[in-house]
Amino acid sequence: MAAPGIADDLAAMAARFGAALRLAGLPVGPGRSERFAAAVALVRPPNRRDLFNCALATLVSSKDQADILLAVFTDVFGPLDQAGLPAGLPGPRTGPSGPPELQAQAEAVAAVGTRLELLGLAAENEDAAESDEDQQILRPYLGSNVERLAGTDFADLTDAELAQLAASMRKITLSVPNRRSRRRDTRPGGRRTDVRSTLRQARRTGGHAFRLIGEEPAVRPRRLVVLCDISGSMEPYARAMIQLLYCAAGGASAEVFSFATRLTRLTTALARTTPAVAIARAAQTAPDWHGGTRLGEALKEFNDRYGRRGMARGAVVLIISDGWDTGDPEIVRQEMRRLSLVAFRIVWMNPRTKSASYEPLAGGMAAAWPYCDAVVSGHNLEAVSHLGAALADPVRRRAMVAAVTT
């Protein structure tokens, strides 16, 4: 790749460098290019290595991206071992300038080079002590902490790291399909004429109906019912899913139940609260938190107490569980069949399905699999998009799943 001519405008240089990175396959948009230009203006790197450190701190978020960045940087600006800088970049800083917070940002970005050099020296010492086949080269990368956490399994996140994802979860919309209501909405041009509304409007014109008001069946979103496994193996994912439900738009209207050895309704306890308080209240309300799993008995209690009364009728049911059950799998099969007769869709979130070699061998999961419309992993924030698509799918696919698994 030929090095482009760099103009005096720092913003133009950053934009052209970002375009070169996009051609190489990196997701560098205007926001990252702007951060790169701001970092260069703050640090004023005296050499190519410091300029590369600015790019490393603002343009990438993984080790693979850092390798591509190094190759593109070498093509555009030249090798790192050369001390010269292209024309058009601001010269080195002669002293502190600007507000204290900007100075702190500049010092933080400038310190990247020092940390990388120390890690590089440590890697060289380790290479001298180990053989070539046993050595492992670690190349640290810098990026947004939220982007790193979004690709981390929920089971590996601490409570503080899970709280950092709350802002990203608020940008997610968990929507469900619509259903035709028994009520009707009036609007001009409807299929049927609403005589009452038409005559009421005609009173304003002396009894002459100059415009017919039509009516059509109203459309309402379906109810979302969540059954969340809070046993020991599922506790990290239960925390994340409860937080997701009350951060995502529309999630607060869901009916939420937890189960381990018994079924507990959490809807009232989680209403009008924050995600952090929601998780704490859920742990206090459910007496079997971290307990064993009796999936079949929990499904039976839900069908008897709530599903029969109409809560699950025409609803989208989300079951969050790994499928491990200490009870009889035949009970799970019978209760899933009962639930499938009234629910519109059944979506099962199983974090074990993140593995490509996963097979539904566990007794509870194998019994429930034919009655599920979709099975998704949802093991991290990046996989939640598949969960949202499964919930919003307006087509019942239960017969297709059953045909594949039988």
Q: Tell me: pLDDT of 32 over 70.
A: yes
- Average pLDDT for the chain: 75
Rounded CA gap, 225 and 339, in Å? 12
Q: What is the mean pLDDT of residues 385-396?
A: 86
pLDDT the model gives residue 89 = 54
**19 and 77: one domain?**
yes
Residues 320 and 396 in one domain: yes
Whether residues 119 and 253 share a domain: the answer is no
pLDDT tens, residue by residue, 42-53? 888 888 888 888
State the CATH number of the domain containing residue 365: 3.40.50.410
Q: What's the pLDDT band for 144 if we cut at 50, 70, 90?
A: low
Instruction: Please tell me the distance from the alpha carbon of residue 393 to that of residue 374, in angstroms, as a whole number.
Output: 10
Count CB atoms within 10 A of the CB of residue 216.
15
Q: At what angle do helices 30-43 and 100-129 cross, to 10 degrees?
A: 90
Q: Are residues 211 and 228 in the same domain?
A: no
Q: Which two tokens stand for residue 117?
A: 């050099």
Rounded-to-integer distance, Cα 321 and Cα 229, Å: 5
Q: Which DSSP string corresponds to 154-170?
A: GGG--HHHHHHTHHHHT
Average pLDDT over residues 243-254: 69
The residue with greater pLDDT, 235 or 134, is: 235
**DSSP per residue, 342-405:** H-SEEEEE-GGGGSTT----SHHHHHHGGG-SEEE---STTTHHHHHHHHH--S--HHHHHHHH
pLDDT digits (tens, 9 = 90+) for 148-188: 788 888 888 888 888 888 888 888 878 888 888 777 777 66
For residue 99, give every residue at least 6 positions away whose Cβ sits within 8 Å of its Cβ, in sequence order, or none. none
DSSP letter string over 214-230? EEEEEEEEPPEEEEEE-
**Nearest 5°: phi and psi at 97?**
-150, 155
pTM across the whole model: 0.58
Domain end position, chosen among 221, 248, 270: 221
Q: How many folded domains does the chain comprise? A: 3
Which residue shows structure tokens 């999961």?
A: 365
Q: Kindly report, residue by residue over 73-120, the tens digit of the pLDDT.
A: 888 888 876 555 554 455 454 444 444 444 444 444 444 444 434 334
Q: What pLDDT is stored for residue 309 in this prediction? A: 82
Half-sphere exposure (Cβ direction) of 110: Cα atoms closer than 13 Å: 16
Rounded Cα–Cα distance for residues 60 and 177 (Å): 37
The confidence band for 125, taking pLDDT boundaries of 50, 70 and 90, is: very low
**What range defines the domain where residue 213 resides?**
181-221
Closest-CA residue to 381 (of 148, 151, 145): 151
Q: Does residue 33 form part of some domain?
A: yes
User: Of 106-120, 129-143, 382-396, which one has max mean pLDDT?
Assistant: 382-396
